[in-house]
Amino acid sequence: MAKTVKAGVVASGVTATASGTGPMNVSYERKGEFAVVVALNCSACRGVATVTAAGRMSPFGRAAAPLRGSFLMDVFKNDPVKQTFIVDAQGSWTVTLQSWNDLPTVSGAQSGTGPAVLFFSDDVSRLKVDFRPAKAGESFSGRAFTTSDKPLLFGESGAFSKTFEVDLPGVLAIQTNGTWTVTPVS
């Protein structure tokens, strides 16, 4: 994966994009203090698509292709402003990078399949998750960044319906290949 494509600068109100075919590095520069949402359009891909970085023990996200999904990067305050990540995919793809502050807010029950990043405006203390795996052994992993300033990691393997203590409003990053519904509850 020696080839690198430059996406450019990500800033408040400014998105960056890059496209490629096959496995490739993507570099960008973040201007400001925020996490970066990586939206991958790999609808022309085959196999499994992975978004990761050199030296990571686990990827930012991995899902069966073809897919359109979002992943979260730069969640720590001391993350470098110049970053490179890897898109490991078979086929043509495009990534769009933006500040999580620029995500449109959502409210109420949200449903989808595969990885996603959602910015909930609901002011509640719990989040109900209904999950159906795409195949046996798959899991749902949620990572919430909320007003409590304490990120919360939660989830389970196999099909489930469960309520988790999540202090919204905030951003929820979902990692899975399965189908899910997340519902804010009081």
Nearest to 138 by CA among 152, 156, 154: 156
pLDDT at 116: 96
Distance CA 40, CA 93 (A): 7
d(C-alpha 22, C-alpha 166), whole Å: 37
pLDDT score recorded for residue 97: 98
State yes or no: pLDDT of 59 exceeds 90: no
Identical fold at 4-100 and 103-185?
yes
Q: Which has the closest alpha carbon to 154: 128, 186, 116? A: 128
What kind of fold does domain 4-100 have according to CATH? Jelly Rolls (2.60.120)
Lowest mean pLDDT among 25-29, 79-83, 103-107: 79-83
Least confident of 11-25, 137-151, 160-174: 137-151
Q: What are phi and psi of 100, to 5 degrees?
A: -65, -20
Above 70 in pLDDT, residue 2?
Answer: no
| Domain at 103-185, CATH class | mainly beta
Q: Using 50, 70 and 90 to split pLDDT, how confident is the model at 23?
A: very high
- Residue ranges per structural domain of the chain: 4-100, 103-185
Each residue's pLDDT tens digit, 34-46:
999 999 999 999 9
Identify whether the C-beta of residue 19 lies closer than 8 Å to the C-beta of residue 94.
yes
Q: 72 near 10, Cβ under 8 Å?
A: no
The strands making up 126-132's β-sheet, listed across from edge to edge, are: 110-113, 179-185, 126-132, 160-165
| Residue 104 vs residues 74, 96, 101, 179: alpha-carbon distances, Å | 19, 15, 8, 21
Q: What mean pLDDT, rounded, does the chain reach?
A: 93
| 28 token code pair | 């960008």
